[in-house]
């Protein structure tokens, strides 16, 4: 698998699947989640309601339509909320492993991935980047390109440092 890092807007990526850092209710929210729902339109929320009537637990992943996004699917992962005391690194790693497993189920060859839990959920950035890069690199998958799409220069720099290790 080729791992790439770019600074940019995940909602504009032309990939098979876009990973969404969702909340456990699966009804949209702020940050990446809000941006994906806004850009993809109502179809994503409608699919979330139908496919996940009770939401998803932390660390799990599931897919929906991508609506109006330039992708085929959105793979929703529920990241751990550091600020709410969810500090088990295995939960964050599970998000990436489960996203790759769902991508394989969908036969997705390319995927765009945000920095899960590193924003509003408060996971320390360097640790979040290390867990993300190590997990994606070490998880067997048929995905050809895992593209981390990072919103700010600071997040991009942290992921570059993690990728260089």
- pLDDT (tens digit, 9 = 90+) per residue, 67-125? 999 999 999 999 999 999 999 999 999 999 999 999 999 999 999 999 999 999 999 99
**Burial of residue 6 (number of CB atoms within 10 Å: 0-12, 13-18, 19+):** middle
pLDDT at 163: 98
Q: pLDDT tens digits for 113-164?
A: 999 999 999 999 999 999 999 999 999 999 999 999 999 999 999 999 999 9
Q: Which residues pair with 20 in a beta bridge?
A: 76
CATH of the domain at 103: 3.40.220.10
How many structural domains are present in the chain? Answer: 1
Active site amino acids: 33
pTM above 0.95?
Answer: yes
CA dihedral of 154, 64, 108, 120, whole degrees rounded to 10: 10
Domain ranges, residue 26: 2-164
Neighbours of 165 (CB within 10 A): 8
| Residue in the structure block whose two tokens are 């720099």 | 157
DSSP type of residue 87: -
The sheet carrying 2-7 orders its strands as: 2-7, 145-150, 110-113, 17-22, 73-78, 61-65
Q: What is the DSSP string of 25-57?
A: T-S--SHHHHHHHHHH-HHHHHHHHHH-TT---
**What is the band of 16 on the pLDDT scale with cuts at 50, 70, 90?**
very high
- Mean pLDDT, the chain, integer: 97
């Amino acid at each position: 698998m080729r791992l790439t890092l770019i600074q940019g807007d995940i909602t504009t990526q032309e990939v098979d699947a876009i990973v969404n850092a969702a909340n456990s209710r699966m009804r949209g929210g702020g940050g990446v989640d809000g941006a994906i729902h806004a850009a993809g339109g109502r179809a994503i929320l409608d699919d979330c309601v139908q496919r996940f009537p009770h939401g998803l637990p932390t660390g799990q992943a599931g897919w929906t339509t991508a609506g109006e996004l330039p992708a085929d699917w959105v793979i929703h992962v529920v990241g751990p909320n550091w600020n709410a005391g969810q500090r088990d690194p295995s939960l964050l790693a599970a998000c990436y492993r489960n996203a790759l497993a769902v991508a394989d189920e969908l036969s997705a060859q390319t995927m765009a991935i945000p920095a899960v839990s590193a924003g509003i959920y408060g996971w320390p950035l360097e640790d979040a980047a290390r867990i993300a890069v190590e997990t994606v690199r070490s998880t067997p998958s048929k995905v050809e390109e895992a593209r981390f799409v990072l919103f700010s220069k600071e997040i991009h720099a942290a992921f570059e440092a993690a990728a260089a290790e």
